[in-house]
Structure 1
Amino acid sequence: MIVDAHVHVAHLARLKVSWETWIGPAGDAGAWAALYDDDGAPIPERVSGYFAGEGVDRVLLFCEYSPKATGWQTVEDMLPIVEHDPERFRIVANVNPHVHHPVARELDRQLDHGAVALKIHPVHAGIAPNDRELYPAYARCAERGIPVIVHTGPSFFPGATSRHGDPVLMDDVMRDFPELVVVLAHGGRGWSYDVAASLALTRENLWLDLAGLPPKRLPTYYAAFGVERIAAKAIFGTDSPAASPSRNVAAIRDLGLPEHLTDAVLGGNAARVFPGLRG
């Protein structure tokens, strides 16, 4: 089973950034443009067909409430895609204390829509991930067995606050919620690979997702730890539309990892971390 655990299928009318900025230099703008109608809404059957054609069996779709940075991508925007292909797609919730109060009530609302995880985007939301405003959401996730995905590393979108992407800030959260399952999105991208890797390798319930990281560069990014050790705690993701799933899957296979670790990265670890992917 191939799992892309980090995908953004935005409603274009609600994006704050330009199409070119959102797609990024490595994205396939032509393929993605064909997935939308004239109003900027994703066409569910085309989105499903795209990921099927890319060989992806399960996809985690991210919503995001970040008016200072990327704009509004509501959980409701994701529902038609899931309804069209409920086997392939799952929703990831998002809360922003600057927008949602109380955050636990909003989280419950999105979980009731079928979300299988919570994404915190401190860099785009403008709040540190260890801010006590987020603690009610973490507490709810701990109670309900919901994994938390946290953006790490910088973002170059206008309005981003990159200092909030330091993964060491999650050390406080893990201390206060030791039962919480946490995924560090982008694996500490940029200036904090070593911190993210150290956290993942010393905490059983903390993982890395590889979204936005060129697979062929992973041995360099994590040279201090060894790519095989990292693979044991890593979850495949593309940050699509910023990268091609099929090309990145092929690049993971080209790393020469033992077969069991390749399988773990491409789907096994995600199935372990996100119970909602099973079945």
Structure 2
Amino acid sequence: MIVDCYTHFWDSPSQLGPASARGGRLFTGHRPDGGAAPLNNAGPDRHVQAGKPVDLTIVVGFVSAHLEAKIPNERVAEHVNRHSERLIGFAGVDPSRPQEALDELSRARNDLGLAGIAVAPAAQNFHPSDSRAMRVYAKAVEFGMPVLFHPGIWVGPEIRLDYARPFLLDEVAREFPEMRMLLAHMGLPWMDETIFLLAKHEHAYAEISGLLRHPWQAYQSLLSAHEQGVMDKLLFGSGFPFSTASECIDTLFSINQLCQGTNLPMVPRDQLRGILHRDALAALRLRSPATVTDA
């Protein structure tokens, strides 16, 4: 089974807040084919179409009081319910407003049927181990919900880069060793920090979507992960709408072309295949949609 562990959709880029218009190169990015990311074409229909090469897709909400941004969790749940055999939803919550976040977390689980939560410290203007955030993580652990950490560096100049670094999650992982933690984009641009975080903490994982838009960085990071022995902690992701599952699969399996004709070592192909086919549901302690439907 192939699981795309990280995607978004939105009805309009304006849902990402006014800062997104000032995001510049960090926000618009580029697709593997050299074109600009299709931010005005990221609706639910295209999201479903882009997910056809995989078996399951995790779709993530987003909210930030700091950036005046909101992709409503109701929209995520509605989209998931329309395609319940192929989609798993994560709720966006903002720990900078802890009571709202706790209430929304409970609502997401009990009323909306969402399976995990997503936070973005840099985009939500909170330190990852802030006491407000720790309350939110504790509730997620109580509910058995995995927590996705987004670097948030693409949103705009108002983000806090110092809150995006993966090593800041070490304290969180030590405080909540049973929490299933998923780092989006392999912590781009701090992939080395992510690799050592994965090596240290049993239930810390990373998906590789944003990284695959930068093939040379992807090659170096995947080789480092292989050498450090943490390839089993890497999960597949596309980062839609910035790229699609098919584009990312092609990039993943062409990584070693960068070192052809050189003395550079290759990333073993079976290790690359393992990323694509890893049992992400077991890693994140998620139930498959079929199991939930049958129940």
Instruction: Find the counterpart in structure 1 of residue 10 from structure 2.
Output: 10
Over residues 171-202 of structure 1, what are the superposed CA-to-partner deviations in whole Å (9 max), with x where a residue is unaligned? 11111111111112221211x22111011012
**Superposed, which structure 2 residues align to 1:86-165 within 5 Å?**
86-112=84-110, 113-152=112-151, 154-155=153-154, 157-165=156-164
Q: Secondary structure at the match of 2:5?
A: strand
Contact 1:197 1:222 in 2 (8 A): no
**Superposed, which structure 2 residues align to 1:45-60 within 5 Å?**
45-52=45-52, 55-60=53-58
* 1:61 aligned onto 2:59: yes
Contact 1:95 1:103 in 2 (8 A): yes
What TM-score does the superposition give when structure 1 sets the normalisation length? 0.84
Q: Secondary structure at the match of 2:171?
A: helix
Over residues 70-124 of structure 1, what are the superposed CA-to-partner deviations in whole Å (9 max), with x where a residue is unaligned? 7111101212321221111111112213345253222111122122111110010
**Superposed, which structure 2 residues align to 1:1-279 within 5 Å?**
1-12=1-12, 13-16=14-17, 17-18=20-21, 24-26=29-31, 33=40, 42=43, 44-52=44-52, 55-69=53-67, 71-112=69-110, 113-152=112-151, 154-155=153-154, 157-190=156-189, 192-214=190-212, 216-217=215-216, 218-226=218-226, 229-255=229-255, 261-278=271-288, 279=290
Contact 2:37 2:243 in 1 (8 A): no
Contact 1:5 1:236 in 2 (8 A): yes
Distance 1:19 1:275, change over 3 A: farther
Q: Secondary structure at the match of 1:97?
A: coil
Contact 2:98 2:135 in 1 (8 A): no
Which range is displaced more, 265-274 or 167-176? 265-274
Distance 1:117 1:70, change over 3 A: same
Cα distance between partner residues in 2 of 1:228 and 1:244? 28
Cα distance between partner residues in 1 of 2:243 and 2:89? 20
- Runs of 5+ consecutive residues of structure 1 not aligned to the other structure: 36-41
Which range is displaced more, 73-82 or 251-260? 251-260
Which range is displaced more, 170-179 or 211-220? 211-220
Q: Which amino acid aligns with 2:77?
A: L
Contact 1:193 1:222 in 2 (8 A): no
Cα distance between partner residues in 2 of 1:199 and 1:75? 29
Distance 1:93 1:178, change over 3 A: same
What is the aligned length? 269
Contact 1:103 1:136 in 2 (8 A): no
- Runs of 5+ consecutive residues of structure 2 not aligned to the other structure: 257-266, 291-295
Cα distance between partner residues in 2 of 1:77 and 1:100? 22
Instruction: Find the counterpart in structure 2 of residue 38 from structure 1.
Output: none
What TM-score does the superposition give when structure 2 sets the normalisation length? 0.80
Cα distance between partner residues in 1 of 2:164 and 2:200? 20
Cα distance between partner residues in 1 of 2:104 and 2:155? 28
Q: Which amino acid aligns with 1:14?
A: Q
Q: Which amino acid aligns with 2:170?
A: D
Cα distance between partner residues in 1 of 2:198 and 2:89? 24
Q: Secondary structure at the match of 2:63?
A: strand
Cα distance between partner residues in 2 of 1:144 and 1:187? 25
Distance 1:224 1:276, change over 3 A: closer
Distance 1:102 1:232, change over 3 A: same
Q: Which amino acid aligns with 1:162?
A: L
Q: Secondary structure at the match of 1:9?
A: coil
Identical aligned pairs, as a percentage?
Answer: 23
Instruction: Find the counterpart in structure 1 of residue 263 from structure 2.
Output: none
**What RMSD, in angstroms, separates the aligned Cα atoms of the two structures?**
2.8
Deviation, 1:244, is 2.4
